[in-house]
Chains A and B, each alone.
Chain A
Amino acid sequence: MKNNPLIRRPWLRIRWWLVAVVIVSLYVWSFTGIEFSGIRENAGTVTVAILQGMISPDWDYVYLADGEDLLRGMIDTLAIALLGTFISAFLCIPFAFWASTNMNRWKWSSGIGKFILSFIRTFPEIVMAIMFIKAVGPGAYAGILALGLHSIGMLGKLYAEAIEKIDRGPAEALLACGANRLQVMWYAVIPQVLPEFMSYTLYRFEINVRSATILGIIGAGGIGTPLIFALDSRNWSRVGIILLGIIITVSVVDMISNYVRRKIV
């Protein structure tokens, strides 16, 4: 485009063709790789059954005297998300400072911090939960630890970005007042990033509530366990009420969290 804009250069067109060929072959490869023949013939009826289950859900399941009900399941789920988020909100702080370029003297140092964070992110929470089950046994606690560890990856990255955006001035002023490193941190850095930290933590809490609903699938507590039982036993009306419970809970959590986040920043 730097030369004569009126003349279309041929190599540009060739490049477009190359891109097109790559994309088309990617899709051919993908479509041929997936086995489509194994679909159950009763898929339609099952879908209808699930939808009907959601329209006429098993209301009795909301509260049962013996405690194995939707209400308790959702409370567990929220508790897992809350504790997991809380743990990661603190554990990620040192990583965040490590990964932010303006808090390190050397570029490679923050690079290592960033790599560790992205490494943690790649480890899915569900795999972590499987490993924690080996350590602390099945149950909600394994789920909490898994969420707590996994969330460090994302929260650490977001925190680091908040730290990188800060104004260096106040830190310089504090240094000039004779403050030591910790005092500079506490008086000049933390006040600048705290609202962001809180907002990101809430955002992560929203995500963790969603994640906590599935941890039960592998036995790490929460509503996932009864859901997978209901699916296995084809109890569609119970599947329906559990799905409704998840949708409502997550929506309410999102609304509250959004409201608070808007007030913070």
Chain B
Amino acid sequence: MSPISVTPPSTNKGRGGNERTSSMVKPSHTKSIMTAAFIIVLLWLSAERTDATVTQLVTGAPEMGKLLVEMFPPDWSYVTTIWAPMMETVQMAVLGTTIGAMLAVPIALLASGNVTRSKWLYIPARLLLNLIRTIPDLLFAAIFVAIFGLGAVAGVAALILFSFGLISKLLYESIEAIDPGPLEAMTAVGANKLQWIRFGVIPQVTAQFISYLLYTFEVNVRAAGVLGLVGAGGIGLLLTRVLDQLRYDRACMIILLTLVIVLVIDYISYRIQEKLL
């Protein structure tokens, strides 16, 4: 923040009246101390504001312990009931990711400075992407439930927007980093803009695109599991229900199954990426 910190240390001027040989002067720690103090004050104010105290945690811990005890053993037989909603969760993630990814491609191209060239196009595109990425998936879901009503459609819509934001951001950053050589070559052979993109840009980012797609899918499966908390379909609906009924053994079963599905998907996705890269 002070201009001093931006200049390289080798040109450090003797500060604080002590004008000896330039860099022999011990640099002052004022800035680090101020930063630390600022952070501590922020934390203290935050703790005040939210009434967060350690005592509360200590007194609450037995309650939490009781809850954890009640979770075990999980209600294994509940698997038959939750299997269908679990699959619905995966389906939501598949659709949300795919549609989001398809929408992401054009906007990512638009947001890349080396493809679009015009500031008037890529800056607004990036702005849009940044704005979309400020809203978390569950918030999208709450809004879409208000729009579409309860059910998986609201969840899919939320995941579409969320995936769109995530993939287009990652993708445009990769596009900006591609090798300009093939692009020049395409210009040299007289390609039009679409041909230029098809043969110059796309081949260079396909592998990354697929890996982002898989990554987003992993994130979405996790996310889809909780969208039901706001009524947007999937396994989360049941989770709220069993928690309201204080059936923690069933809640545990839901969490375990989600965990297994997520780990299986992570593993498959990891293997696919290994094959691709």
Contact = CB atoms under 8 A, between A and B. Distances in A.
Q: Which of A134, A139, A140, A227 is packed against the most chain B CB atoms within 10 Å?
A: A134
Interface in A118-148: 118-119, 122-124, 126-127, 130-132, 134-137, 139-141, 144-145
A27 B98 contact: yes
Consensus secondary structure, chain A interface: helix
Contacts of A126: 138, 226, 229
A100 interface: no
Contacts, number: 163
Q: Which of B67, B88, B130, B226 is packed against the most chain A CB atoms within 10 Å?
A: B226
Contact of B64 (A78, A135, A250): A135
Contact of B134 (A131, A132, A251): A251
Contacts of A36: 153
B29 interface: no
Contacts of B156: 34
Interface in B38-60: 42-43, 45-47, 49-53, 56-57, 60
Interface stretch (A5-13, A158-166, A171-179, A206-214): A206-214
A228 interface: yes
Interface string B76-105: 000000000001101110110010000000
A79 B135 contact: no
Given A83-B52, A227-B139, A33 B63 contact: no
Contacts of B94: 26-27, 30
B147 A46 contact: yes
Contact of B139 (A80, A213, A251): A213
Q: Which of A30, A227, A239, A246 is packed against the most chain B CB atoms within 10 Å?
A: A30
Contact of B56 (A122, A136, A247): A136
B225 interface: yes
A243 interface: yes
B185 interface: no
A247 B143 CA distance: 14
Contact of B142 (A132, A137, A140, A228): A228
Nearest to A44: B147
Contacts of A47: 147
